[in-house]
Structure 1
Amino acid sequence: MFASLKITTRLRLTLALLALLSVAMAALAAWEMGVMRASTREIATHWLPTVETINAINTGTSDLRIKELRHVMAVDERQRAVVRAESEAVMAATRQHLADYRARVDSAAERALLQQFEEAWGGYLRVHAQMLGAGPGGVSAALLDDGKRQHDVASALLERLIALNRDASQAEVRTAEQAFALAARSIGIGVLIALLVAVLAGEWLVRSIGRPLAQAVATADRVAAGDFTGHVEVRGQDEAAQLLRALSRMQAALAQTVLAVRRNAEGVATASTQIAQGNLDLSQRTEEQASALQQTAATMEQLGTTVRGNADSARLANQLAKRAADVAAAGGQVVGEVVTTMHGIHDAGRRIGDIIGVIDGIAFQTNILALNAAVEAARAGSQGRGFAVVATEVRALAQRSAQAAREIKALVGGNLEQVAHGSVLVDRAGRTMAEIVGSVGRVSDLVAEITAATVEQGSGISQVGDAVNQMDQVTQQNAALVEESAAAAESLRGQAQNLVRAVAAFRLAADPAEAPAVAQPAAA
């Protein structure tokens, strides 16, 4: 509700509130001062005169007692007459004070106590009159005692009246002091409340006015710095809110304008970059094509020379292929003979292995017989000792024969494996030689065909060389045009990038914080 108030209305409300607080403080102070004034008036107009009157009555009773004693102690009639005259004056003044006091009494308890005092005072005055009326030596001790007793009773009642009025006056003083303390506290609390309300009202006024203005200044600074990403929060309907709404509309309009300019600039920059890059690539490809055509022309010339040389070489190769076919056929026959020989070697090796097996068996049997002979010689004792020595030697020879037979068998076995492997290789060589003979025949036929084709290629390559020379001339002309187009596209790209950099200084909420960099074309 307060946010919708205008600033002038807020100022008027704040000033009115402060004025109302001032009036309230003045009214409170006036009321408290009225309370204290009433208490002071009560003390000044009632209790002080009452206390003074009672004190005067008390003084009068004391003076009468003194004058009574002076009258008793007087030595002549003249002194007694003076004392009687003074006593009459004191009694008249005291009666007047009693009348004044009686008029001020407003409570039943005090009135009853005053009545008791007047009765006691009357009794004392009667005794006092008897003492003053007696002649010299006419005052008895009993009369003195009765006068003292009556005076003490009246004095005691008077003291009670004095205490009653003293307590009442002190209570009124305490009431006045309490009223003053209450007034001081009330005024202090009122001042604090007024200060608090004034501070809160001032703070509210400062915030309600200063915060929107500060927000407006910050928004203007941010927009001036090119930052359109911030959100302008607007509350209320006052002048500051209207200013913020205007700034928000201005920011939105500027953001749309800058966004449109940025997108168009980026589109132009991208298109110009692509054009420049395309022209640069086209220029490079054109130059490469021209260079390739030049190389192709030179290569075609070399190829023509090479083809002619190949034709001569093909004819020579055809002759060599025929000779190779004859040599391969002769080699095939030789390999066949080698295969037959290897088969014979393999069969002989297998027979040698069988013979070595027989020798190994004989050596084993000889070893067994020598062992049996050694056993029998051991049984014969000393007579068979010489036979045992012979049996031992025979056994040793049999073992060496068996060991040699095993070694020979191992060597023969290895040779047989190598011979078998050689036979396999020779078989493969035979088949390979047969294939070589067939291949050489086919190669001879192919070389003849290549010779005829090479002659035809020489004629075609000569025609291709002429066409490549014409393409090279056209490509050189295209390269010159592409270089001019690339220079124009590069100039357009530079201007578009300058525009993009100028617009990139603005930050928009819909785009990244920083404008994307424009792609640079690849270096030539």
Structure 2
Amino acid sequence: MNIRNLKIGMRLTLGFGTVLLLLVAISAVGIWRLRDMGLAVESMAERALVKERIAAEWLVATSTNSIRTFALVKSNDADNLKYFQKGITQTSLGITENSKKLFDLLETDAEKALFEDSVAKRAVYVGLRGSLMRLKADGQNAQVTQLTEEKLVPALAAYDASIKNMLVHQKSAIDQSLVSIDALNHSSQRNMLVLALLGLGSLVAWRLTIGIVRPLGQALQVAQTVAAGDLTTWIEVTTSDEAGQLLQALKDMNTSLVGIVGQVRQGTDTIATASGQIAAGNQDLSSRTEEQASSLEETAASMEELTSTVKQNADNARQANQLAVSASSV
């Protein structure tokens, strides 16, 4: 099928239909992007932020217990020792519970490796802290001080650093998620902008199609009506563009044809009148010709009668002459 044989309206519809298909495709991509962004935000809210919060609570709880531990080392009051030990035990149970929650949320090998490093260093630190408490309970303050300075402090520093490493990793993951979400957001905004522009373009295209096809259809109808011999159609021109100019030209042509037809009709009437006059003249001429023919017939009859009389007179004269000759001879 040759596209040039299609009507202009159909060709415009096909073109703008293609634009609408692009509009639908971009809309689908935009919706998909928004879905991805929603999933990314949901994942960050439900996992990344939760993991970062648990790691931060773990670090705070560890710092709190370390303060209690050093206070326990310095204190010699039995009630204070019991108070610090109770607080350390409760906080340690909370750390254990949070570590289990965090483990269930881990996804990557890097997260798991950092978690296992923190758990291992915690085990070393907790073991040294237990030994320190036992020594403190036995009143071996010198060994408590030595154990604290030589082993507990380095173990605590390593344990604290491992938790911070885990926390930094989670914050980095959150930052990466934010970057991805921001990229998705910008991409979605661009898609929405393109979508809006295509929507506006489709609306303009629709109006242009109507503005082009409707006057052309009207012009075609006028041309077909004129071709059928009907010059009474009223042509209304509402625009000054090419289609409006075409309608105006058809209107002018229709007006000119009406004038020409009027002139032809007037000429026809004149010819008919002249023909009538000629026919009347011919009739009068025929009547006169008949009268003249009748007069000629009468003249011919008179001439024939005159000829007969002359002939008779000649005969009479000849007879008289003969009688005269006869008389003279007697």
Amino acid at match of 1:87: I
SS at match of 1:140: helix
Determine the C-alpha separation between the residues in 2 that align with 1:253 and 1:205: 30
Deviation at 1:205, TM superposition (A): 2.2
Change in Cα spacing, 1:112 to 1:81, as seen in structure 2 (3 Å) is: same
What residue is the counterpart of 2:126 in the other structure?
125
Q: Deviations over 1:424-466 (max 9, x none)?
A: xxxxxxxxxxxxxxxxxxxxxxxxxxxxxxxxxxxxxxxxxxx
What residue is the counterpart of 1:74 in the other structure?
75
Deviation at 1:78, TM superposition (A): 1.3
Deviation at 1:252, TM superposition (A): 9.8
Q: Deviations over 1:363-390 (max 9, x none)?
A: xxxxxxxxxxxxxxxxxxxxxxxxxxxx
Q: Deviations over 1:29-52 (max 9, x none)?
A: 533331221011101110111011
Verify the 8 A CA contact 1:127 1:147 in the aligned structure 2. yes
What residue is the counterpart of 1:111 in the other structure?
112
- Give 4+ residue runs of structure 1 displaced > 3 Å after superposition: 13-30, 211-220, 246-268
Whose radius of gyration is greater, 1 or 2?
1
Verify the 8 A CA contact 2:16 2:205 in the aligned structure 1. no
Q: Deviations over 1:449-485 (max 9, x none)?
A: xxxxxxxxxxxxxxxxxxxxxxxxxxxxxxxxxxxxx
What residue is the counterpart of 2:135 in the other structure?
134
Deviation at 1:118, TM superposition (A): 1.4
Determine the C-alpha separation between the residues in 1 that align with 2:271 and 2:7: 46
Verify the 8 A CA contact 2:9 2:209 in the aligned structure 1. no
Change in Cα spacing, 1:89 to 1:203, as seen in structure 2 (3 Å) is: same
Which aligned pairs between 1:91-106 and structure 2 lie closer than 5 A? 91-106=92-107
Deviation at 1:253, TM superposition (A): 7.3
What residue is the counterpart of 2:308 in the other structure?
none
Q: Deviations over 1:290-345 (max 9, x none)?
A: xxxxxxxxxxxxxxxxxxxxxxxxxxxxxxxxxxxxxxxxxxxxxxxxxxxxxxxx
What residue is the counterpart of 1:203 in the other structure?
208
SS at match of 1:134: helix
Change in Cα spacing, 1:116 to 1:189, as seen in structure 2 (3 Å) is: same
Verify the 8 A CA contact 1:25 1:191 in the aligned structure 2. no
Q: Deviations over 1:124-148 (max 9, x none)?
A: 1111112222224241234333111
Q: Deviations over 1:345-371 (max 9, x none)?
A: xxxxxxxxxxxxxxxxxxxxxxxxxxx
Amino acid at match of 1:201: W
Verify the 8 A CA contact 1:40 1:176 in the aligned structure 2. yes
Amino acid at match of 1:140: T
Percent pairwise identity: 13
Match of 2:7 among 3, 6, 9: 3
Tell whether 2:169 aligns with 1:164. Answer: yes
Determine the C-alpha separation between the residues in 1 that align with 2:96 and 2:190: 46
Equivalent residues, number? 246
Q: TM-score, length-normalised on structure 1?
A: 0.40
SS at match of 2:107: coil
Tell whether 2:58 aligns with 1:57. Answer: yes
Tell whether 2:158 aligns with 1:153. Answer: yes
Q: TM-score, length-normalised on structure 2?
A: 0.61
What residue is the counterpart of 2:38 in the other structure?
37
Q: Deviations over 1:213-250 (max 9, x none)?
A: 37878999xx89xxxxxxxxxx9xxxxx9x99x98997
Amino acid at match of 2:163: L
Q: Give unpaired runs (5+ residues) of structure 1.
A: 225-234, 236-240, 269-524
Determine the C-alpha separation between the residues in 2 that align with 1:158 and 1:185: 40
Amino acid at match of 2:121: A
SS at match of 1:75: coil
Which aligned pairs between 1:10-409 and structure 2 lie closer than 5 A? 27-135=28-136, 136=139, 137-138=141-142, 139-213=144-218, 257=261, 260=264
Q: Deviations over 1:11-33 (max 9, x none)?
A: 9x899889878866764553333
Alpha-carbon RMSD across the aligned residues, in angstroms, is 4.3
SS at match of 2:7: helix
Verify the 8 A CA contact 2:72 2:81 in the aligned structure 1. yes
Determine the C-alpha separation between the residues in 2 that align with 1:206 and 1:122: 81
Verify the 8 A CA contact 1:64 1:90 in the aligned structure 2. yes
Deviation at 1:256, TM superposition (A): 7.1
Determine the C-alpha separation between the residues in 1 that align with 2:176 and 2:8: 57
Amino acid at match of 1:131: L
Change in Cα spacing, 1:77 to 1:58, as seen in structure 2 (3 Å) is: same
Deviation at 1:163, TM superposition (A): 0.9
SS at match of 2:125: helix
Deviation at 1:266, TM superposition (A): 10
